[in-house]
Amino acid sequence: MELTDSVSTLPFVGPNYEKKLNKLGIFSILDLLHHVPHRYLDFSKITKIKDVIVGETITVIGTVTSIRNQATKTGRLMQIGQIEDLTGKITVAWFSQPFLTRMLFPGVKIAVSGETSWFNRNLAFFSPQYEKIDESHETVHTGKIVGVYPETAGLSSKWLKARIKYCLDRVKIVEFLKNTKGLFSFEEAIYKIHFPQSLEDSHKAKERLAFNEFYNLLVEAKERRKKSEKKKSISLKIDHTAINSFVKSLPFKLTSSQNKVIAEIMSDLKNKNSMNRLLQGDVGSGKTVVSAIVSFVTFLNGYQTVLMAPTQILANQHYETFKEIFKNYKIRISLITGSVVKKDVGVNDIIIGTHALLNKIKEFEKIGLVVIDEQHKFGVKQIDFLKNKNPNKLTMTATPIPRTIAQTLFSDMDLSILDELPKGRMKIKTWLVPNQKREKAYEWISSQITVHRSQCFIICPLVEESDSETLKNVKSVKKEFLLLKSHFPLLNLGLLHGKLKEKEKNEVLNEFKNGNLNILVTTPVVEVGIDVPNATIMLIEGADRFGLAQLHQLRGRVGRGEKESYCLLFTTKSQAPLTENDSGKAVNRLTELTKINSGFELAELDLKLRGAGDVLGTKQSGFGNLKIANWSDTKLIMLASKAVSAYN
């Protein structure tokens, strides 16, 4: 038997079971051996029947003395039996498994494991793990620490463990490291992850298998980088005189952080290998200006720039910003979105648009730079649309998604951080507001708008009400707009959502930007691309339904001026008050958001909570192709990185 053999070669695995295994991502013997328990049950305490104590998790070994099928009052079929050892008898009971009366007939020696309880005033096991005792073989499911596996319909942990044991008895596992540096050997780790003698064994086995996953990914990343380096790349010349002149023409002075980042990017651009750099900076830190300067360098070299934005609103804002920045230069800029195509005469130097511009890519002959704004809004396949042309790539985001952080760790992307905000910019105060304080929150918002002439965003997750049971408490923007008009009778409210026509959206936004609207009731369509310095209040309904990255982006719509700004978070939970001690995962996330203003810190937290996604594949979040390792284990990543350097 080989590790690469299909699971279909195993006994009891026909086409039906093969499909079920495939659903769990198990195709080969190696996949099966890496399908590891997500938790363990400690059945290692073997107890005589006379010593059984109610509530203990134990194993009892005895002989079946009786077993029968019996209908319960609710009509369910119950299997009730007794087993005995030399010290006494104990009742065992299962539900809806009538075949057991044919398997566990009187005289059969078995081991049962589980938690003990009472049944008709007698000690009993309910639905215990069971196993026939064969003196020539050790037990697999009882009498030891037993793994509980991720399952699917028709595949139990017991069935999976039996197949795994069959493979381990027959397959040869070859070590690929010369020095395991205090880790289990590969063979030992595979065996003890499934059959540990102690919980400590299972932890050490998991550590070694996690190391393997990091090691393999690092090797793949290294190979991918080698292939990329062999591709024909675009190297640009840096005309410092022209660049300095352009920077001096800007109506503001660059921060020291921007200057540092620009120097890092210039070094990449003149390199023989194409740039692949992540530019991380919170909202308002000046990422757009940096991208404009890089686009200018690309233009000076006779190449085109493609800037992709996730929404029409943001694409349009970039278009207007770039036109203003380059108004004194003969640089031809075009805008391509789903509903708008604006082109200057002649060949385009800078093409700005949404994913709609992907359909026009063939028309762009000399692409030297691709700028991806707000990467987490694009699919991986969309982002990689120009990989065959191998241009320089600059990815910009206020909050990197976990997948991006993982790529940075693995050196697939270089990282630049804009860690300075413009002078006078204050941190946004963020509060998690219990629902019973809603009316007071509305009163406070009204006073802020009246006294300080501020403006407010109110975000609702849905456009219209949903009939779905899971969405019944989620606020819809249309209904909330009507309700809020009665809460704020003296203020002007506007309504914005994605189902409005482009012209209607622009009219509402312009009214808000010009100060004619006090409150904009909207969906998350304003997440990026809206710059209203006078807006100082952001209220988010159903905040528990959003990820940290999106909440950080929404919060970033305020605090863009010099006034103190605020973000109020409400949840879809019941009217019960929310506290920092609430055990709910969503509430814990939101509580962290109230403490953290840094996008990069939030991304690291998101990394721990959600996983990094499939680093070399197309999944953006979740645990992707890591089945065992955890992306937050940076020490193990570094250990694997050193091993790759040593052996490759």
Report the C-alpha gap between 470 and 473 in whole angstroms. Answer: 8
Q: Cα Rg for the chain, rounded, in angstroms? A: 31
Residues 576 and 537 in one domain: yes
- Whether 60 and 139 have beta carbons less than 8 Å apart is answered as no
Report the C-alpha gap between 545 and 7 in whole angstroms. Answer: 40
Residues 299 and 404 in one domain: yes
Q: By percentage, how much of the chain surpasses pLDDT 70?
A: 85
Six token digits for residue 404: 């991006």
Check residue 574 and give its pLDDT. Answer: 43
173 has a pLDDT exceeding 60: yes
Check residue 73 and give its pLDDT. Answer: 83
Where do we find the tokens 């039906």? Answer: 16
Where do we find the tokens 């985001």? Answer: 397
In angstroms, what CA-CA distances link 515 with 95, 388, 457, 519, 628? 68, 47, 13, 10, 53
The reply to whether 211 falls in a domain is no
Check residue 109 and give its pLDDT. Answer: 92
The reply to whether 326 falls in a domain is yes
Check residue 65 and give its pLDDT. Answer: 93
Check residue 391 and give its pLDDT. Answer: 86
C-beta atoms surrounding 23 within 10 Å? 12
Q: Is 555 helix (H, G, I), strand (E, B) or coil?
A: helix
- Whether 536 and 563 have beta carbons less than 8 Å apart is answered as yes
Q: Which of 149, 191, 496, 161 is nearest to 313 (CA)?
A: 496
Report the C-alpha gap between 638 and 626 in whole angstroms. Answer: 16
By the 10 Å C-beta count (0-12 exposed, 13-18 middle, 19+ buried), 134 is classed as exposed
The reply to whether 197 falls in a domain is no
Six token digits for residue 204: 């050490």
Q: Is 95 helix (H, G, I), strand (E, B) or coil?
A: strand
Report the C-alpha gap between 122 and 290 in whole angstroms. Answer: 76
The reply to whether 622 falls in a domain is no
- Of 391, 418, 445, the last residue of a domain is 418
Residues 410 and 486 in one domain: no
SS3 annotation, 575-592: CCCCCCCCCCHHHHHHHH
Residue length of the chain: 648
Q: Identify the H or E element spanning 304.
A: strand 304-308
Six token digits for residue 26: 């198990």
Report the C-alpha gap between 186 and 81 in whole angstroms. Answer: 43
Q: Which of 33, 45, 46 is nearest to 161 (CA)?
A: 33
- Whether 518 and 456 have beta carbons less than 8 Å apart is answered as yes
37 has a pLDDT exceeding 50: yes
Check residue 582 and give its pLDDT. Answer: 42
Residues 348 and 462 in one domain: no
The neighbouring-strand residues paired with 117 are 124
Strands across the sheet with 333-336, in order?
341-343, 333-336, 350-353, 304-308, 367-373, 392-397, 276-281, 414-418
Check residue 344 and give its pLDDT. Answer: 55
Where do we find the tokens 């003990």? Answer: 116
Report the C-alpha gap between 24 and 238 in whole angstroms. Answer: 52
Q: Identify the H or E element spanning 161.
A: helix 157-168
Residues 320 and 446 in one domain: no
586 has a pLDDT exceeding 90: no
22 has a pLDDT exceeding 60: yes
Residues 412 and 445 in one domain: no
Check residue 302 and give its pLDDT. Answer: 92
Q: Give tens-digit pLDDT for 311-343.
A: 887 888 888 889 999 999 989 999 888 766 666
297 has a pLDDT exceeding 90: yes
Q: Is 539 helix (H, G, I), strand (E, B) or coil?
A: strand
Residues 441 and 578 in one domain: yes
Report the C-alpha gap between 2 and 170 in whole angstroms. Answer: 9
| Percent helix, percent strand, percent coil in the chain, to nearest 5 | 40, 20, 40
The reply to whether 29 falls in a domain is no
- Average pLDDT for the chain: 83
Look at the chain and report how many structural domains it folds into: 3
10 has a pLDDT exceeding 70: yes
571 has a pLDDT exceeding 60: yes
121 backbone φψ class: left, alpha, beta (φ>0; ψ -120 to 50) = left
Residues 252 and 275 in one domain: yes
Confidence grade of residue 371 (pLDDT, cut at 50, 70, 90): very high
345 has a pLDDT exceeding 60: no
Check residue 243 and give its pLDDT. Answer: 95
- Whether 126 and 114 have beta carbons less than 8 Å apart is answered as yes
Report the C-alpha gap between 462 and 476 in whole angstroms. Answer: 4
Contacts of 411 (CB under 8 A, 6+ apart): 221, 225
Mean pLDDT of the 369-392 span: 67
Mean pLDDT of the 25-53 span: 89
Report the C-alpha gap between 522 and 540 in whole angstroms. Answer: 10
- Work out whether strand 304-308 and strand 367-373 pair parallel, antiparallel, or are unpaired: parallel
Q: Which of 87, 82, 84 is nearest to 51 (CA)?
A: 87
Q: Give tens-digit pLDDT for 470-486.
A: 555 678 889 999 999 99
- Whether 572 and 544 have beta carbons less than 8 Å apart is answered as yes
Q: Give tens-digit pLDDT for 300-313.
A: 999 999 998 888 87
519 has a pLDDT exceeding 90: yes
Where do we find the tokens 């070694």? Answer: 208
Poorest-pLDDT segment among 235-249, 264-278, 417-431: 417-431
Max CA pair span of the chain? 98
pTM (2 decimals)?
0.64
Q: Domain with 497 in it: what CATH number?
A: 3.40.50.300
Structural domain including 96 reads 45-143
Q: Identify the H or E element spanning 20.
A: helix 15-23
Report the C-alpha gap between 210 and 640 in whole angstroms. Answer: 10
Residues 411 and 513 in one domain: no
- Of 85, 118, 143, the last residue of a domain is 143
The reply to whether 300 falls in a domain is yes
The reply to whether 186 falls in a domain is no
| Phi, then psi, of 367 in degrees rounded to 5 | -80, 120
Cα 243–249–250 angle (5° rounding)?
100
- Of 371, 396, 418, the last residue of a domain is 418
Residues 134 and 264 in one domain: no
585 has a pLDDT exceeding 50: yes
Residues 244 and 322 in one domain: yes
244 has a pLDDT exceeding 70: yes
Q: Domain with 79 in it: what CATH number?
A: 2.40.50.140
Residues 302 and 381 in one domain: yes
**Pairwise pLDDT comparison (85 vs 273), residue with the higher score:** 85
In angstroms, what CA-CA distances link 175 with 6, 30, 180, 217, 639? 21, 14, 9, 17, 17
Where do we find the tokens 């109506």? Answer: 251
The reply to whether 212 falls in a domain is no
